[in-house]
């Protein structure tokens, strides 16, 4: 949300920017539960990653990055949805306030992590969007999950929504650069660049498939005889 959008929002809702600033502070205080939810998710992912390393001698998670959506961005999203700007509406209708991005080495790691999360009794997976099997038109690939995880507070338990994105290093590299280009052109990317970005996404996918095949060959050889040289 840029300054013009903030000013427009304040004008449309009949209050000044000082009032908006005070409201943002109140929002941050009310949304602290999402930080607690991220801590729960990050702890769980760290345990699962270390257990997988112990059992399979391979850690499926390379990097974990988490974030809380800025209240200004949440307000703008509610505004676009033509919903009243309130914390209650944010909790009910915005499911990516808390977000976790998991970066893996191999395609198979993505679905291994997904299966591990499915087996957790305290996690409810409420939505799955597989942009790997069904990429977006621009070439974007990632596995998106919306989960609900319990957060235990002094006055009870609250289930909190968290968005989890799982992708390979190659997918993450492409998505990061595409995002920067997207905003550099103010969302109006020339057609020839869109074509090149799609080709780059296809190349990244080919690289993922090739690295997965190499990993599979290594696993097979090691399981048969660790002393044999790779063929």
Angle at 148 between CA 105 and CA 85, to 5 degrees: 110
Catalytic hit among 159, 163, 191, 228: 163
- Among residues 77, 70, 82, 65, the alpha carbon closest in space to that of 31 is found at 70
Query: Is residue 163 annotated as a catalytic residue, yes or no?
Result: yes
Angle at 215 between CA 65 and CA 210, to 5 degrees: 85
| Residue 90 near residue 74, CB atoms below 8 Å | yes
Length of the chain: 231
**Both tokens assigned to 147:** 């989960």
User: Under 8 Å CB-to-CB from 52, ≥6 apart: which residues?
Assistant: 58, 59, 60, 112, 116
Residues designated as active site:
163
């Amino acid at each position: 949300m840029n300054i013009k959008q903030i000013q427009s929002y304040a004008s449309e809702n009949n209050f000044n920017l000082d009032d908006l600033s005070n409201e943002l502070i109140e929002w941050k205080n009310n949304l602290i539960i999402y930080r607690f939810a991220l801590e729960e998710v990050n702890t769980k992912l760290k345990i699962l990653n270390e257990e997988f390393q112990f059992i399979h001698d391979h850690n499926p998670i390379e990097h974990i990055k988490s974030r809380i959506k800025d209240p200004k961005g949440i307000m703008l999203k509610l505004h676009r949805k033509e919903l009243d700007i309130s914390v209650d509406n944010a909790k009910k209708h915005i499911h990516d306030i808390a977000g976790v991005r998991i970066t893996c080495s191999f395609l198979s790691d993505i679905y291994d992590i997904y299966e591990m999360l499915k087996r957790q009794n305290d996690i409810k997976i409420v939505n799955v969007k597989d942009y790997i099997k069904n990429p977006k038109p621009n070439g974007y690939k990632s596995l998106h999950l919306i989960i609900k995880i319990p957060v235990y507070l002094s006055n009870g338990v609250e289930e909190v929504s968290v968005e989890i994105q799982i992708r390979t290093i190659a997918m993450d590299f492409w998505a990061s650069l595409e995002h920067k280009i997207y905003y550099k052109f103010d969302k109006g990317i020339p057609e020839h660049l869109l074509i090149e970005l799609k080709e780059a996404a296809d190349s990244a996918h080919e690289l993922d498939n090739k690295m997965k095949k190499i990993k599979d060959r290594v696993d097979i050889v090691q399981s048969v005889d660790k002393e044999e040289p790779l063929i």
